[in-house]
Amino acid sequence: SLLVNVAGQPRTEKVKLPSSLQGRKPNSIPKKKVEDPVSGKVNTSSLATAGQQLSGFHLIPPSVTLGVLKEGCTYAATVILKNVGVNFSRFRVKQPPPHTGLRVMYTPGPVGLQVELEIEIFAMVTGGEDTGGLEEIAHDIEILTETETLLLPVTANIL
């Protein structure tokens, strides 16, 4: 029940539903509704579910935490961009600014099922002030698709 916690006592705060149950994806900005004049309307019963979007991407994992990195070294992580639509879709990545040390490598072109994005970071400390030997890097990588803009949060601590 949403009214009581696991111990059977009344809850002190509201239960926050995950975004997947709320019908929207986390870290995404939907674009204005644009009809695609090339792809026709699908009228099969298996795809006629009301409110279901027939195009889009999911990021697996939805965020990247690289942990503690040694300054002057290069690290990489792989993220899968999965096409959950019924048609081929295109995307492009807005590369992060150079001062973050981040770079995204991928193969451009239409995506059938999925494509791998390699997130590469060159660990460098940019601030001149003394931060106690640890600097935190946090940046949202923008992935521009046909229907929305996905945000991939990348965090790391540089030693």
Residues 29-41: pLDDT tens digits? 777 665 555 555 5
Mention the CATH class of domain 59-151. Answer: mainly beta
For 20, list phi and psi in degrees, rounded to 5. Answer: -65, -30
Q: Please tell me the predicted confidence (pLDDT) of residue 51.
A: 46
Alpha-carbon separation of residue 141 from 36, 75, 112 (angstroms): 26, 16, 22
The confidence band for 11, taking pLDDT boundaries of 50, 70 and 90, is confident
Q: Is the pLDDT of residue 2 over 70?
A: yes
Report if pTM > 0.75.
no
Rg (CA), the chain: 20
Q: pLDDT tens digit string along 98-143?
A: 988 999 999 988 898 999 999 999 998 876 555 566 889 999 999 9
Domain ranges of the chain: 59-151
